[in-house]
Structure 1
Amino acid sequence: MKFTLSWLKTHLKTDADLATILKTLNAIGLEVEDVENPAEKLGAFKIAKILTAERHPQADKLQVLSVDHGDGNPLQVVCGAPNARAGLIGVFGVEGAVVPVNGMVLKKTAIRGVESNGMMCSTRELELGDDHDGIIELAGDAPVGEVYANWAGLNDPVIDVSITPNRQDCMGVRGIARDLAAAGLGTLNAIIVPEIAGVGPGPDVRTDDVDGCPAFFARSVKGVTNGASPEWMARRLKAIGQKPISALVDITNYIMIDLGRPLHVYDMATLKGGLVARKGKAGEQVLALNGKTYAIDETMTVIADDEAVHDIGGIMGGEHSGAQDGTTDVLIECAYFTPERIAVTGQKLALTSDARGRFERGVDPAFLDDGLSIATSLVMTLCGGTASEATRAGTPPATPKTVAYAPDQCLALAGVDVPFDTQRRILESLGFGVEGESSGIEYQDGVPVSVPVSWTITVPTWRRDVDGWPDIVEEVVRIVGLDHVPSTPLPRVPGVARPTATPEQLVERRVRRTAAARGLAEAINWSFISEKEAASVGGGDWTLANPISEDLKVMRPSLLPGLLSATKRNVDRSATSIRLFELGRRYFKQGERATVGFVLAGEKTARGWQGGKAQPFDAFDAKGEVIALLAAAGAPVGNLQSMGEASAAYHPGQSGTLRLGPKVVLAEYGVLHPSLAKQFGLSGTVVAGEIFLDAIPAKRKSGFMRAPYAPPALQAVKRDFAFLVPETVEADALVRAVKGADKKAIVDARLFDVFTGPGVDEGHKSLAVEITLQPGEKSFAQEELDVISAAVVKAAQKLGASLRG
């Protein structure tokens, strides 16, 4: 929501400076996102007069000007504008000025051999419009030498405020001014509603869809002359980014931003019969003002005449029936559309507009008559014409709500002791009606006695977000200031506090710290992804009925889409080594699943004389991260089985899974499938993995005491074995078989060498395994070692392995 400081002061009588206004807006819950003063970037541009204009000796389309910019020393300027001529008063950028449109610094230069000092400017170059056909032409009485921004009234800060969805009343400048007045920053000016003496009956309008459009008010104005808006209105609209179109269109935009009341103006010459607000019909279409055609269905409210649909009710008007330059008779629509219908229609059509943003929050249903009168008065003032009587079809839901409220509830709920009379003043200044006594003291036999105070609060029609007494407390505390809420510590029970983190939270904490310690940066992504992204990882079980965006429609079944999107953003910013992880939830019909995902992309080693040649990540890098994070999560990594059955998101043959038994999958990892990487705009090798924390078996509770550390009394013995095995045999299977040959004596086994080449039969490979033997009460005798070795060889032979000679 943007507005200028001077615009705000048409509603708020205040002496407060800009800094105070901004601070107060933030304090009362209207977050200021940005403040920009156009005059700051135009301070070096002055009003100047062209004294002479001569043809450039070396170019037919250029002129050499003599420009008076107010210091008594005319400057020579080369200019190519077709309207440059002697006597013209325009805007001149002096040497050193920065042109807003492109950031160019003006300096003395030679153009086709002729010296030029500064520049005569167009509106586009100063970002004041789109006109670039010539330089700015000012009125003959414009003061030469004065800073243009000051003379043109551009020294007016533009304030951009973020409005939360519940504050529909602040979608207009007046609502913001009302809040500031309640906060003590001035007084709210009275709004003037003109009385329109209508001539003749009102236009033929009605509503046949009371659920979508309960009320449809309208008035016609005949004999208008449409043209450009007055300078004051155009300046305000341009300051907030609205392009002035014509007086009739600008009036509706101005009232929408000024008072939060959207309206629409129809060219009556284009209408065939009366207008009706009704439900759409399958097969109907409308060409909207944005130039796009939209298909209508039965769930939408439209405005139509006897032949066609002209308006997507409450969202956007049609191109055919909108006001044009030659429009002479208009119908002004001021209707109330239900927020729910507007929201559903806008989402179906993927169509946003300023009107939709207000109607789906909920405009004031009691402001139809006044809004129509104000709009009619402006049309007649700026465009002339004669107004008809008003037609009022339907009844707006304008019955005010009442709430029972005890002012001492403010202290009980918010912890702020606000005097009762202060609460009354705040509520009344916000437009609430307050009935009841302000004092909680009664005199009984001359003795003051405290008694409960109860008020009846009448909620203003523009505050549909207020339902109960806690909302009243919120309003009081918001205006008083959240900084007045005291910080009160909760009572603390004597003794050592019990841990508050759950076992699952402790596991996630360890995993997060381990990932960060290993050089991975944490990413936090949306839990929602698009349908296309969900399909790329197998599809999602949950689709939102009311998504905030079509790209955030499906509850994610995998963490990979979000991480890959983040990876692409890093690649686009020239990151060469990307290591991202995320700890979050995946969503299925069975419930939420705690998961850790990571992506490695780019180079794992830097180029340079120290690091050598840059190397891409591979599947083994992913496996290393998976094992490290599983260990941090408390998984029995020594008992895991490696199987090559990762999901379709991974490259076949370059991916795998880690399991506890054939069915319990703890993680999958590997090189990303090229088609999936391409879908996210990634090139080169990208590796990833997901660890399913919910699949890790919980540890048995063994009390609070750790088992005492008892190192072995005797030194361990290591033995190496080299086996010839078929190429199809997995190394992990051989290691597990060897380790299980004697579960009492063999405490560890690991692969330390893989060899193919001379001395190894074709179709085979040599795998070397180191086993660790731990003696118990006495050292191993040679005969015992021979028995264990024979058991190791026998276990390997079951896989088709033979001891290498």
Structure 2
Amino acid sequence: MKFTLSWLKEHLDTDAPLEEIVRTLSMIGLEVEEVVDRSKELAPFTIAHVVSAEQHPDADRLRVCKVDTGKEILQVVCGAPNARTGMKGVFAPVGSHVPGTGIDLKKGTIRGQESNGMLVSERELGLSDEHDGIIDLPADAPLGLPFAKYAGLDDPLIDIAITPNRADCLGVRGVARDLASAGLGTLKKLDTSKRNGSYESPVVWRRDFPADAMDACPIVVGRHFRKVKNGPSPRWLQDRLRAVGLRPISALVDITNYVMMDLGRPLHVYDADKIEGGHLTIRFAKDGEKFLALNGKEYTLDGEIIAIGDDHGVDDLGGVMGGERTGVSDETTSVFLETAIFDPIRVAMAGRKLNLLSDARYRFERGLDQTSPFWGTDVATRLILELCGGECSDVVVEGTEPEWRRSYDLRIARIAELGGVAVKQGEALRILDILGFEAEPKADGVFSVTPPPWRGDIIGEADLVEEILRIHGYDNIPVEPLPRETTMPQPALSPAQRRVPLAKRTLASRGMVEAVTFSFMPSSQAALFGGPVKPEMMLANPISADLDAMRPSILGNLLAAAQRNANQGYPDLALFEVGPQYADATPKGQSAMATGIRAGMTAPRDWTGQQRPVDAFDAKADLLALLEALGAPASNAQVSTDAPDWYHPGRSGCLRLGPNVLGCFGEVHPRLLQAYDLKGPVAGFELFLDRVPMPKAKKGSTKPFLTLSPFQPVERDFAFVVDADVAAEQIVRAAKGADKVLVSEVGVFDVYVGPGVGKGRKSVAINVTLQPTERTLTEEDIEAVSAKIVAQVEKATGGSLRR
């Protein structure tokens, strides 16, 4: 929200300096983002008179000018084609900084002629891109006057950030009201005097909504004007609009924009002679109906968009933008004014569907003063008659003013209880009164407070307390240290809360890059993860048409990211994301996940030939490492082959602790790779963070003794021939269980299928590490343990030791 200091003072009677106003705005919750004071950088530039402009003796395109600055006459060499004797321009003296070019002026000699300063163009002052000639001012421009003051550029521009609940401050008057309540002056009275009409309006309103949808437009007010003269608006109005970034168009259009920026009340004007049928109907658009907007673009509407039209068709999108066909022009002599209240949600949905942004939509979707159709019409009537002349009709009204009156009990004692600072009753009531609230005594220290019609965000006693504290000053809240309940500070995060950053660090340490994606995805992609998307998982108001469903799996978003990287020439990558995914619309349907993918090759191509395509075992290794880092008993996890159908059926699995599925891993199904246009291979994993058991609490706070064996470990290799469908995990578990004291580690180092092992059979070779703790193992000890291992594996798998 932008406004100038002088504009603010049109509503606020104050002598406060700019610095105090800026500080107060931030302290009352209207954060100042920027203050632009052009007068400081334009201070050296003054209005000068060109006494003479003679042709340069040695240059065809240069002129030697004698310039009267009001203090002295200086010689300036100028190359502008419009430099001439008798004109008035803007002079920059030697030593000044030219903001548009960034140069510092120095006294110089150009083609043998001395030059003391320069006559500047609009681009050199940073005012516009115009640089075909120097600034040419009217003959009555005061000689020697600072140009910033003459051009109205000495008025500081303030830009504040408005939170979504403060729609009342999307007009300069709302900002002035807040400053007045903070003690920085007095709010001036707004001129909302009524003008009586001299004839009956030839245009009337109609509302055509279903009975249960009349809230789409509860009230609309209109007024007809005739014999108006539309043309350029006066300079003061154009200057204010330009200051806040709006382009002056014509008096009628500028009036509507001015009222919107000044009072936060959007308006629209129609060329009444272009309205067909003598009426405007507010209704829902028809599916497929076309609309040509004021921006020159054509939009296709649907049955949920509020439209305003006549017998010809749609002429306006309610609360969003007007139509080109009935727009006003310089030839307009009859005008019809629209001042309405539209449903904020429907306005927001229409704007998002059509990707159509406007200042009006920005205000309508945040909620307007419910009484503004009446006083907004009165303000606009006064301005139209003053600036465009003509006469006005009687006001035409369709609908009734929405019921906005509501009251909440405010206990003065609650201010200290909720806010930590006691505010005297008189001060609290003063603040509420200036802000527009009505407070009626109800009991000792209790008041019934009615919010004003422009504060739809106030919904309870806590909001009233916040308003009082905000204006009283957050800096008046005393600083109180939190009580220390223990000698040593307690951890800020619980073990469960620490899992998220720990998971991220673990995966990053394995060479993966964190991705942050939306919690939604295209419904066409969501259907690849578990079938058709449930209706309750579709977004009612998506931020983009192709992000219309909550994601059932983070894997889909990571695959989309991999596809985008591959298109840019980076097919080999490893990504992960820690965040939520959604199975249904219930709280239990949301799961905290750690999901990752590896795509392409495991390493760059080099002379050693170490690279290979990623596979399911890479994803399994990532998943097991993550479980280990989170303190889960990863060694006890069992692998099952019932991974979801978005994994390759023969190259995937799930990790379980009993019936509890901790996560899934494997190569991504070729069907998904084709859908995402990935050439593959891609391996991924998904870990349900909430299902990972917490590490068992240790007795006491001391760490256990580090136990190291002084005896040499012994390694033995075994190869077992088993059926092809026997999992290697069964062999490893059987070998570990053969002697839990001596067997410290078991690993698979070879799998062979082919001649010598029989059809439907395979050979699995394992390496077993024996770690004695009491004495060095003898050959007899090793043979005894080996026999146990062979017997245990043969019993568990039905296989035999390969001879």
- Specify if TM > 0.5: yes
Aligned length, in residue pairs: 781
> Equivalents in 2 of 1:264, 1:76: separation in Å?
50
| Secondary structure of residue in 2 paired with 1:362 | coil
SS of corresponding position for 1:326: coil
Alpha-carbon distance in 2 for matches of 1:736, 1:96: 84
Q: Secondary structure at the match of 1:255?
A: helix
Q: Match for residue 586 of structure 1?
A: 581
Kept in 2: contact 1:216–1:277 (CA 8 A): no
- Is structure 2 residue 256 aligned with structure 1 residue 260? no
The 5-angstrom pairing of residues 364-379 of structure 1 reads: 364-379=369-384
Q: Does 1:554 align with 2:555?
A: no
Aligned position for 1:381: 386
CA distance in 1, matches of 2:147, 2:648: 64
Is structure 2 residue 245 aligned with structure 1 residue 241? Answer: yes
Q: 2:452 aligns with which of 430, 449, 460?
A: 460
| Aligned counterpart for 1:475 among listed residues 464, 467, 479 | 467
Please state how far the C-alpha of 1:31 moved relative to its aligned partner. 1.9
Secondary structure in 1 aligned to 2:405?
Answer: coil
- The correspondence for 1:631, drawn from 618, 628, 633, is 628
Q: 1:157 & 1:533 partners in 2: Cα distance?
A: 51
Contact preservation (8 Å) 1:169, 1:462: yes
* Contact map agreement 2:39 2:148 (CA 8 A) in 1: yes
Aligned mate of 1:270, from 270, 274, 280? 274
Letter in 2 for 1:351: L
Distance, in Å, in 2 between the alignment partners of 1:55 and 1:627 is 84
Secondary structure of the residue aligned to 1:596 is strand
The structure-2 alpha-carbon separation of the partners of 1:301 and 1:755, relative to structure 1 and needing over 3 Å to count, comes to closer
RMSD of aligned alpha carbons = 5.2
Aligned pairs (5 A) from 1:381-460: 381-397=386-402, 400-436=405-441, 452-460=444-452
Cα drift, residue 183 of structure 1: 0.4
Tell me, yes or no, if the aligned pair for 1:718 and 1:770 is still in contact at 8 Å. Answer: no
Going from structure 1 to structure 2, the CA distance change for 1:490 and 1:116 (only over 3 Å counts) comes to closer
- Give the one of 344, 354, 363 matched to 2:359: 354
Distance 1:211 1:459 in 2: 21
Distance change (3 Å), C-alpha of 1:712 and 1:110: same
| 8 Å CA contact retained: 1:436, 1:455 | yes
Matches within 5 A, 1:85-104: 85-91=84-90
1:75-474 paired onto structure 2 within 5 Å: 75-79=76-80, 83-91=82-90, 122-123=121-122, 126-129=125-128, 135-143=134-142, 147-208=146-207, 209=209, 210-272=214-276, 273-397=278-402, 400-436=405-441, 452-474=444-466
Q: Does 1:505 align with 2:493?
A: no
Q: Distance in 2 between the 1:803 and 1:313 partners?
A: 82
Query: Aligned AA for 2:9?
Result: K
Residues 657 and 666, structure 1, Cα contact 8 Å, conserved in 2: no
Structural mapping, 1:736-747, within 5 Å: 736=732, 739-740=735-736, 742-744=738-740, 745-747=742-744
Task: Among all aligned residue pairs of Structure 1 and Structure 2, give the percentage whose two residues are the same amino acid.
Answer: 42
Distance 1:676 1:459, change over 3 A: same
Distance 1:94 1:616 in 2: 71
1:721 has 2:717 as partner:
yes
Alpha-carbon distance in structure 2 between the residues aligned to 1:178 and 1:89: 42
Change (3 A) 1:55 1:559: farther
Residue pair 1:435, 1:457 contacting (<8 A) in 2 also: yes
Change (3 A) 1:582 1:284: closer
Deviation at 1:104, TM superposition (A): 7.6
Per-residue Cα deviation, 1:269-326 (whole angstroms, up to 9, x for no partner) = 2111222323333343321112232333443332222332211112211111111122
Distance 1:460 1:406, change over 3 A: same
Equivalent residue number for residue 448 of structure 1: none
- 1:404-447 C-alpha deviation (Å, 9 max, x unpaired): 3332332233232111111111111111223339xxxxxxxxxx
Whole-angstrom CA distance in 2 between matches of 1:647 and 1:38 = 63
2:76 touches 2:118 (CA, 8 Å); kept in 1?
no
Paired residues of 1:216 and 1:333 also in contact (CA < 8 A) = yes
- Which SS does the other structure have where 2:362 is aligned? helix
Q: Is the 8 A contact 2:269 2:337 kept in 1?
A: yes
CA offsets, 1:688-727, max 9 Å, x none?
754332343455678668895584777363224276999x
1:66 matched to which residue of 2? 64
CA distance in 2, matches of 1:99, 1:531: 55
Gaps of 5+ in 2: none
Deviation at 1:538, TM superposition (A): 6.7
Q: Which amino acid aligns with 1:34?
A: E
The one-character-per-residue Cα deviations of 1:636-684 (angstroms, maximum 9, x if unpaired) are 333456789987888999x866623798654556899999999999999
Report what 1:442 is aligned to: none
Answer whether contact 1:616 1:685 (CA < 8 A) is retained.
no
Q: Which shows bigger deviation, 669-678 or 741-750? A: 669-678
Name the CA distance, whole Å, in 1 between partners of 2:263 and 2:192.
Answer: 12
Deviation digits for residues 139-182 of structure 1, max 9, x if unmatched?
12335665533431212232222222222211111001000000
| Aligned CA distance change for structure 1 residues 127 and 557 (closer, same or farther; 3 Å) | farther
* Corresponding letter in the other structure for 1:264: H
| Residue in 2 that maps onto 1:28 | 28
| Deviation (angstroms), 1:351 | 2.8
More divergent stretch after superposition (261-270 vs 577-586): 577-586
Q: Work out whether residues 56 and 64 of structure 2, in 8 Å CA contact, stay in contact via their aligned partners in 1.
A: no
Instruction: Point out the more displaced range, 697-706 or 353-362.
Output: 697-706
Q: CA 1:325–1:553 in structure 2 vs 1: closer, same or farther (change >3 Å)?
A: same
**Contact 2:600/2:614, CA 8 A, preserved across alignment:** no
Counterpart AA for 1:343:
A
Q: Residues 787 and 473 of structure 1: is their aligned pair in 2 closer, same or farther, counting only changes over 3 Å? A: same
